[in-house]
Amino acid sequence: MEKLAENVWFLPFELKALGVNIGRNVTVIRLSSGELLLHSTAPFTSQQVERIRGLGKVRWITDPMVDHDTFSQKGIAAFEEAVFLAPDGFPEQQGVSVQPLLPIPEAWGEEIQVLRLEGADSFSEHVFFHRSSRTLIVCDLLMNFPDPGSSWQRMALRIGLGPKQDPGTSRRLKFAVKDRQRFRASLEKVLQWPFERVVVGHGEPLREDAYQLSKAAWTKAGWLES
């Protein structure tokens, strides 16, 4: 588990698609109350659970996108004391009680801001901004594979996701955007946040020049005006 910023940790997991590990990232955020918010679920090991609990009490877990239910059952099972938050339309999971993500819990105060990306309703992705660390946390809005490895891995990523993934956007999300005007308006709101780093759902976090790299990727995708 890597500490990205004050009160923000990054925990990567393996997730394969087309025979390539595209990864699955979990972000741990500690609020001023000392309570923890886990962004995304994963098949946590007992050692990882112990280490996370060593940071504070896990109060909330969220999978902030409709198409993000791969590990929700396992994630909740690891932290049964936590409240699970997800967008409207999130698939029902056996044994998982889902509460609405919006409006966000009052206990988050001004520490966490959440924005639903309009115009791609089938994804219903919600992006998070941790104000004090200036960290943006997304699911599929950005991916980042600066070193994909073998030629097969590079080809598989290019076919499945698109030609540019360092960082870039997936083909699936591009097809999901049905109202470009609304989606662009959402991205413009995201860019009002002064973020300095980005934790992506798949791949390596953007640790430097995150704001400009994100804006360039969204412009290349045709969602922002150049």
CATH of residue 134's domain is: 3.60.15.10
The token pair at 223 is 């969602």
| Within a domain: 93 | yes
pLDDT digits (tens, 9 = 90+) for 60-86: 999 999 876 678 888 889 999 999 999
138 in Cβ contact with 116 (< 8 Å): no
| Within a domain: 11 | yes
| Within a domain: 225 | no
| Within a domain: 148 | yes
Split at pLDDT 50, 70, 90, the class of 93 is confident
Domain boundaries, position 195: 2-220
Give the CA count within 13 Å in the CB-facing half-sphere of 72.
23
> Residue 218: is it exposed, middle or buried by C-beta count within 10 angstroms (0-12/13-18/19+)?
buried
Whole-Å CA distances, 99 to 1, 61, 103, 104: 27, 10, 10, 10
86 in Cβ contact with 101 (< 8 Å): yes
The secondary structure of residue 173, as a DSSP letter, is H
| Within a domain: 10 | yes
**Length of the chain in terms of residues written:** 226
Q: What pLDDT does 133 receive?
A: 98
Cα–Cα distance between 205 and 199 in angstroms, integer? 5
Number of domains in the chain: 1
Q: What pLDDT does 182 receive?
A: 97
Whether the per-residue pLDDT at 18 is higher than 70: the answer is: no
pLDDT exceeding 90 applies to what percent of the chain?
A: 65
Give the least confident one: 13-22, 140-149, 171-180. 13-22
| Within a domain: 226 | no
Q: What's this model's pTM, rounded to 2 decimal places?
A: 0.92
Cα–Cα distance between 22 and 14 in angstroms, integer? 7
Q: What pLDDT does 172 receive?
A: 84
| Within a domain: 114 | yes
Query: CB neighbours of 94 closer than 8 A, spacing ≥ 6?
Result: 73
Q: What pLDDT does 124 receive?
A: 93
Q: What pLDDT does 33 receive?
A: 97
pLDDT digits (tens, 9 = 90+) for 151-190: 766 666 676 666 667 888 888 888 899 999 999 999 999 9
Range 196-219 average pLDDT: 94
